[in-house]
Structure 1
Amino acid sequence: MIYVHWIFVLIYAIVIVGIILAVLMDNRQPAKTMAWVMVLLFMPVFGIVLYIFFGQNTRKMRLISQRSLDQLAKRQMLEFAEQRELRVPDRYRTLVQLFANQSLALPFKDNEVELYTDGYQFFPALLQSISKARHHIHLDVYIFADDPLGRLLSDALIQKAREGVEVRVIYDDVGCWRVPRRFFERMRNAGIDVCAFMPVKFPAFTSKVNYRNHRKLCIVDGIEGFAGGMNIALRYVKGIRGGALPWRDTHMRLRGSIVYAMQRAFLVDWFFVDRTLITNRCYYPPMPWRISNDCLAQLVTSSPIAPWPDIMQGYVRILLEAKRYVYMQTPYFLPTEPVLFAMRTAALAGVDVRLMVPRHADSHLLEWASMSYVVETLEAGVKIRLYESGFNHSKMLACDDELCTCGSTNIDFRSFENNFEANVFIYDRPTTLRMKQLYLDDEAKSVDFNEVEELCHRPYLHRLMESMFRMLSPLL
């Protein structure tokens, strides 16, 4: 019995060596590799737990076969991809090609975009669209709250299911961890197909608790879609009550050919959660809208299982190719090194780079961790605005009056590397000018970082804590 503990030590050593070899073979950035090796060596047991939950590299995994992806895309969507007189702006031709090559994010012309900045605008439009559905409703959302608004929307979906409309709902299992299961069971019992994205069940899916579906997409009858940053929750409409901050966000209603790309993205997610391959042409119907304009759009999705971080690469290229300005909004600012480098480079080159973040985040930990990044960009000339009229949850970018994007992607490690995200990139001057105006309207409700005395002269211990929390930014 005296040697039993040595057996456990030997087993532990073998496990540690095996994990370290796996980390080395992933060929990550040297800094990340060294960080994980240090954690595993100097944090016994706890280091293994951290690696199981947050350290495994899923980017090389193939959770959906290429054959299935081809069937979901090429058989239907590509039939509509040959668009006459499709003109891609010369300036952004390489960016369009980048997205198209990496994730089949094809450009679609002839689109209309309607912008919403709060729940009072967005949810009535969504409910109106749902009420007009005749064939199907596809909803892909991170949070579907069991609150008065969530129940109102679920009632609307149940009513359409009873009318014979196909209704499919994907919700994220971690995003909805507070939502009682009976909320979704009620919809299932009414004939709605409801699936949780990557349910977290110990121990099978423990390693994927860090990889969540953060997308917010809704497609109605294959002819109209919604995308942006809003979840299904009352926080977007209740405003200041009981001390709660109102949530400001940006969401879009899209009509035109871009809806085909949104449909394809949903059906890929549906195959992922339900293993049902939906390839019928009825989900890609001819558009009833007579739209003829130069509004070119691409739906770009990114995920930890894709070969490349598509949306992050798009942000980097936009920043490095900008000539006049780049205006960005994000609720959480924990940028990856390539994005941070691109922001600093653009600002030092004389581009008017502005970043808007909330004056107070909904998490003190995230607020502290982001502060060191904010200071670093300030030193390079990036203008930081702090939104004070509530919590700004908007994720948008406008560049040079010609290009804009809006979707579910935050400027942080989690969105760029860990989450399943979706952004619409729009190459259109009128739409970009409207998106730019939204930013400027929010800027009027913001304060310059350099004007906040308490932030510019933070005590040493405060700055030390920020630097310590920065080390955790890849996990936040």
Structure 2
Amino acid sequence: MFIEFAMPTYLIAALLVINILFAAILIFIERKDAQATWAWLLILFFIPLVGFIIYILLGQTLTRRKMFQWEGIKKVGLDHLIDQQKEEILNPDFRFNSTTVDHNRDLIYMHLMNNDAVLTKENHVTIYSDGEKKFSQLLADIRRAETFIHIQYYIFRYDGLGKEIIDALTEKAREGVKVRLLYDDLGSRSMRKKFLKAFREAGGEVGIFFPSKFTIVNLRLNFRNHRKLVNIDGKCGYVGGFNVGDEYLGKKKKFGYWRDTHLRIEGPALAAIQTRFILDWNQAAKDYHISYHNRYFPEVESKGNTPMQIVSSGPDSEFEQIKNGYLKMIMDARKSIIIQTPYFIPDKTLLDALQVASQTGIEVKIMIPNKPDHMFVYWATTSHIGEMLKAGAKIYIYENGFIHNKVLIVDEKVSSVGTANIDQRSFKLNFEVNAFIYDPIIAKQLIQDFAEDVNVSTLLTNELYEARGKRIRFKESISRLLSPIL
């Protein structure tokens, strides 16, 4: 009898000691921000030991320095432009050939100083909001390639769309075009080596970002490459929200029509896209390093007059660069702020900035989906949306399928389109990339897309929000507690 009752007591005591040790590591060694620390402490308290296993998979940063010591991280090919632009922006008498660019010198300088994000001005940008049109154009560009194709997606599925793209890439590799495919191991977890056998045999190269060392579990779940980048011959490139899979064509019943925003870019901004791809590729494909050869940075003719910066961020960065870019845009707003995002889980600085903007008469409009693809994230989103409603913002619930685009437009002049959601994962943990665009014409095109989306959305009122049931309120409360780590 003694042993029968004593064993659970010893186990409980051991678990308590282990949990205290884990909590001490979290507080004194990891030293996360206070909100994230409290969220993880709650998990450790309510589910001892199991909570720490979850933390090891999703939260720990003890090995971050070792993981993110990329080799040869340099903005090779852009150094002279970066130095030149720093001098120009610091000269108060220097004027760019754009009032929008001049007005946003501080934002441009911040990205240039902290991210080496060079400003390029003679770009042509085409906006795609429909998957069928975007991938039809991408396939046409792939089939016209002559020298190289660099293609990177977080999710790459081997379904109808994925197979069509792989087949097109394989054919170009057979023709002698240098084709490199980079995808994230977790995002593309359904991808198998056999699917790419013909591609490799044709001469195509494959890079996998942070592949798992184990068959089932990836111990680096937290740090994923969420970027979507394409560069073809240095003549055209892509950046935006679409991944590769049939759901992005609206063919999955669960989501219905897939609403996203992607950019096709022609012009000197491709050099920045190329640099970003090479850095990611050389980290992932260690046996097939790319050198910064001139053939990957060809001379580019002027294709338009859209100024932009390609800005990246991730856990290897000292600053939360894309979030800081959002914050600066919001702080500089004078008339309007428009946001479209699948997840709205801002940290306190971003939430305060948006609330202050709304309370000072700036028109703030936010559009979110009417359905979740990640349950806790969705309920955390609706919780934060309630605070924006109280501040006077207009909230739209998209009803025509699933909205996934990551768009911010300020004062009908400056916009940001890319891969970063408004949540802690995108700001701190994922590797992301956005285009910051200083062009009223592009901003107005994005606003027109937003207006069309409003026609298939529901305006969320305070009355509708307050009428939600107790069950939903409970889900929101729990999800909000976990929001710093979602």
Same fold per TM (> 0.5)?
yes
Counterpart Cα distance in 1 of 2:367 and 2:79: 38
Does 1:283 pair with 2:296?
A: yes
Q: Once the 2 structures are TM-superposed, how far is the Cα of residue 458 of structure 1 from its aligned partner?
A: 1.3
Q: Once the 2 structures are TM-superposed, how far is the Cα of residue 91 of structure 1 from its aligned partner?
A: 2.4
Counterpart Cα distance in 2 of 1:149 and 1:379: 43
Aligned ranges for residues 428-439 of structure 1 at < 5 Å?
A: 428-439=439-450
Which residue is equivalent to 1:78?
79
- Residue deviations 1:97-134, cap 9 Å, x none? 11111121111111110001111210111111111111
Q: Once the 2 structures are TM-superposed, how far is the Cα of residue 457 of structure 1 from its aligned partner?
A: 0.2
Q: Once the 2 structures are TM-superposed, how far is the Cα of residue 188 of structure 1 from its aligned partner?
A: 2.1
Does 1:341 pair with 2:352?
A: yes
Counterpart Cα distance in 2 of 1:365 and 1:17: 28
Q: Once the 2 structures are TM-superposed, how far is the Cα of residue 270 of structure 1 from its aligned partner?
A: 0.6
What percent of counterpart residues are identical? 34
Q: Once the 2 structures are TM-superposed, how far is the Cα of residue 244 of structure 1 from its aligned partner?
A: 5.0
Which residue is equivalent to 2:248?
236
What SS does structure 2 have at the residue aligned with 1:109? strand
Which residue is equivalent to 1:376?
387
Counterpart Cα distance in 2 of 1:213 and 1:168: 16
Counterpart Cα distance in 2 of 1:181 and 1:325: 48
What SS does structure 2 have at the residue aligned with 1:291? coil
Counterpart Cα distance in 1 of 2:299 and 2:96: 18
Runs of at least 5 residues in structure 1 that lack an aligned partner in the other structure: none
- Residue deviations 1:399-437, cap 9 Å, x none? 112101111111122111211111000001111111111
Which residue is equivalent to 2:51?
47
Does 1:421 pair with 2:422?
A: no
Counterpart Cα distance in 1 of 2:270 and 2:96: 17
Q: Once the 2 structures are TM-superposed, how far is the Cα of residue 461 of structure 1 from its aligned partner?
A: 3.3
Structure 1 letter corresponding to 2:469 = P
TM-score w.r.t. structure 2 length?
0.89
Aligned ranges for residues 194-343 of structure 1 at < 5 Å?
A: 194-202=206-214, 206-238=218-250, 245-275=256-286, 276-287=289-300, 289-291=301-303, 293=305, 295-343=306-354
Contact in 2 for aligned 1:303/1:417 (Cα 8 Å): yes
Contact in 2 for aligned 1:16/1:40 (Cα 8 Å): no
Counterpart Cα distance in 2 of 1:59 and 1:398: 37
Which residue is equivalent to 1:145?
157
Q: Once the 2 structures are TM-superposed, how far is the Cα of residue 368 of structure 1 from its aligned partner?
A: 2.2
- Residue deviations 1:195-224, cap 9 Å, x none? 211112349984421111111110001221
Contact in 1 for aligned 2:35/2:484 (Cα 8 Å): no
What SS does structure 1 have at the residue aligned with 2:237? strand
What SS does structure 1 have at the residue aligned with 2:461? helix
Which residue is equivalent to 2:168?
156
- Residue deviations 1:26-59, cap 9 Å, x none? 3322232233344435532112202211221269
Does 1:469 pair with 2:479?
A: yes
Q: Once the 2 structures are TM-superposed, how far is the Cα of residue 267 of structure 1 from its aligned partner?
A: 0.4
Q: Once the 2 structures are TM-superposed, how far is the Cα of residue 176 of structure 1 from its aligned partner?
A: 1.2
What SS does structure 2 have at the residue aligned with 1:200? coil
Contact in 2 for aligned 1:56/1:207 (Cα 8 Å): no
Q: Once the 2 structures are TM-superposed, how far is the Cα of residue 325 of structure 1 from its aligned partner?
A: 0.3
What SS does structure 2 have at the residue aligned with 1:436? helix
Counterpart Cα distance in 2 of 1:26 and 1:356: 35
Counterpart Cα distance in 2 of 1:461 and 1:204: 34
- Residue deviations 1:219-248, cap 9 Å, x none? 001221111100111223245x75751101
Counterpart Cα distance in 1 of 2:47 and 2:253: 42
Counterpart Cα distance in 2 of 1:205 and 1:95: 41
Counterpart Cα distance in 1 of 2:263 and 2:418: 9
Which residue is equivalent to 1:92?
104
Which residue is equivalent to 2:91?
none
Which residue is equivalent to 2:25?
21
What SS does structure 1 have at the residue aligned with 2:189? coil
**Kindly tell me: are residues 217 and 309 of structure 1, through their superposed partners in 2, closer, same or farther at Cα, counting changes over 3 Å?**
same
Counterpart Cα distance in 2 of 1:279 and 1:331: 36
Runs of at least 5 residues in structure 2 that lack an aligned partner in the other structure: 89-94
Q: Once the 2 structures are TM-superposed, how far is the Cα of residue 444 of structure 1 from its aligned partner?
A: 1.6
Which residue is equivalent to 2:34?
30
